[in-house]
């Protein structure tokens, strides 16, 4: 079975193909067009993002089919993100996917964006629940306990900024460019992570939430104080964020009796985060190459997981949703 997945939730136009071979989903194509038009604004401009998706989605789809060496008529099902995300951007991929499915006479799967991120990592080891899933990106910082396929319990989330959003904002303060995560990571390589004494947020909490707004403000004060090098602020900020993510996730794992964690989303590509998780006693799995940031293959993987589990996923009646919880706490 060959599933085509589409993601246009923000500023990446992603189309991927996944083949279910012997009951195992295998990524056979993953093509992403990254919009560079937003760099000069220091953040994503929703209207521009929607227009870029409209202009690029055809060629990205053709490129994915070419990469996989298949024809449009070979597709057995179509999956597309229906939320959460920028509504205008979501509509482009959602309507395009529905049109393809109807034109081909194939099933359509409406996929939750965070579920796509989770399966981008879980598919690497063909994991079976139970496990924890930390989704950490520019728009999301969520911690889920997954006992069964398709059942998600939200056990922790950010109370303010997402981790990736905080990286973007601090990178802008430091004049390091956009997107902020890779920019701060590069600057941190030549910085002293112990130079700036950032307080770890929510260190004494009883739950498993995250908070990065205070760190962002502390970084602003460090910049205005003029005492620290840019590289030192970047390194210290990165360490504080990584410490918060790893410490809280480890505590949740101990409390809930889990020994396996999947970490996904754009921030999962951060080398310091991977190294820190690697030093824990947890079994930790990250997405494979090209699957950290938003992409179509992860949506196809989520569709494949639904197929293999025999789940019915809402299809052609699904609408685009800017706010769409995957689970309730």
Asked whether residue 181 is marked as a ligand-binding residue, the answer is yes
How far, in Å, are 208, 209, 247, 286 from residue 202 at the CA level? 9, 8, 11, 25
Asked whether residue 264 is marked as a ligand-binding residue, the answer is no
> How would you label 10-33 residue by residue, b for 16+ Cβ within 10 Å and e otherwise?
bbbbbbbbbbbeeeebebbbbbbb
Whether the upstream peptide bond of residue 179 has omega within 30° of 0, thus cis, is: yes
Asked whether residue 292 is marked as a ligand-binding residue, the answer is no
- The stretch 194-202 carries a mean pLDDT of 95
Contact criterion met (CB below 8 Å) for 261 and 118: no
Per-residue pLDDT tens over the stretch 146-187: 998 788 999 999 999 999 999 999 999 999 988 899 999 999
Lowest-pLDDT range of 14-18, 58-62, 318-322: 318-322
Instruction: Report CA dihedral (300, 301, 305, 306) to the nearest 10 degrees.
Output: -20
| pTM exceeds cut of 0.85 | yes
Asked whether residue 270 is marked as a ligand-binding residue, the answer is yes
Distance of CA 190 to the CA centre of its chain: 27
Task: Please check whether the two domains, 2-119+291-309 and 129-285, share a CATH topology.
Answer: yes
Tell me the C-alpha distance between 19 and 168, whole Å: 35
Domain boundaries, the chain: 2-119+291-309, 129-285
Asked whether residue 78 is marked as a ligand-binding residue, the answer is no
Asked whether residue 135 is marked as a ligand-binding residue, the answer is yes
Question: 24 - beta bridge partners?
Answer: 21
Asked whether residue 137 is marked as a ligand-binding residue, the answer is yes
Asked whether residue 99 is marked as a ligand-binding residue, the answer is no
Is residue 136 within a helix (H) or strand (E), and if so which, with residue range?
strand 131-136
pLDDT-derived band at 329 (thresholds 50, 70, 90) equals very low
Asked whether residue 225 is marked as a ligand-binding residue, the answer is no
Q: In the CATH scheme, what is the code of domain 129-285?
A: 3.30.420.40
Contact criterion met (CB below 8 Å) for 265 and 136: yes
Asked whether residue 113 is marked as a ligand-binding residue, the answer is yes
Closest CA to 209 of 243, 244, 255, 253: 244
- CATH classification number, 2-119+291-309, choose in 3.10.20.30, 3.40.30.10, 3.30.420.40, 1.10.150.20: 3.30.420.40
Contact criterion met (CB below 8 Å) for 72 and 4: no
Q: What percent of the chain has pLDDT over 70?
A: 96
């Amino acid at each position: 079975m060959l599933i085509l997945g589409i993601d246009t939730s923000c500023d990446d136009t992603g189309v991927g193909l996944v083949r279910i071979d012997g009951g195992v989903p295998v990524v056979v194509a993953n093509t992403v067009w990254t919009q560079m038009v937003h760099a000069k604004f220091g953040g994503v401009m929703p209207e521009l993002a929607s227009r870029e998706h409209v202009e690029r989605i055809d060629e990205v789809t053709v490129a994915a089919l070419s990469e996989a060496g298949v024809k449009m008529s070979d597709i057995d099902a179509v999956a597309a993100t229906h939320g959460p995300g920028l509504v205008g951007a979501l509509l482009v991929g959602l309507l395009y996917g529905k049109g393809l499915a109807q034109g081909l006479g194939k099933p359509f799967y409406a996929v939750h964006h965070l579920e796509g991120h989770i399966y981008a990592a879980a598919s690497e080891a063909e994991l079976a629940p139970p496990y924890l899933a930390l989704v950490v990106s520019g728009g999301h910082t969520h911690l889920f306990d997954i006992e069964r396929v398709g059942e998600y319990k939200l056990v922790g989330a950010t109370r303010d900024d997402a981790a990736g959003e905080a990286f973007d904002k601090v990178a802008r303060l430091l004049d390091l460019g956009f997107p902020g995560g890779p920019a701060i990571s590069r600057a941190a390589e030549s910085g002293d992570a112990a130079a700036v004494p950032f307080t770890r947020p929510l260190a004494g909490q009883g739950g498993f939430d995250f908070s990065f707004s205070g760190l962002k403000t502390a970084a602003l004060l460090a910049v205005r104080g003029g005492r620290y090098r840019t590289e030192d602020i970047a390194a210290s900020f990165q360490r504080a964020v990584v410490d918060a993510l790893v410490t809280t996730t480890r505590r949740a794992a101990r409390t809930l009796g889990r020994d396996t964690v999947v970490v996904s989303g754009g921030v999962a590509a951060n080398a310091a985060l991977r190294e820190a998780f690697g030093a824990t006693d947890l079994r930790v799995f990250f997405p494979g190459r090209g699957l950290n940031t938003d992409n179509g293959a992860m949506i196809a993987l989520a569709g494949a997981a639904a197929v293999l589990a025999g789940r019915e996923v809402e299809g052609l009646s699904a609408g685009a949703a800017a706010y769409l919880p995957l689970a309730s706490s």
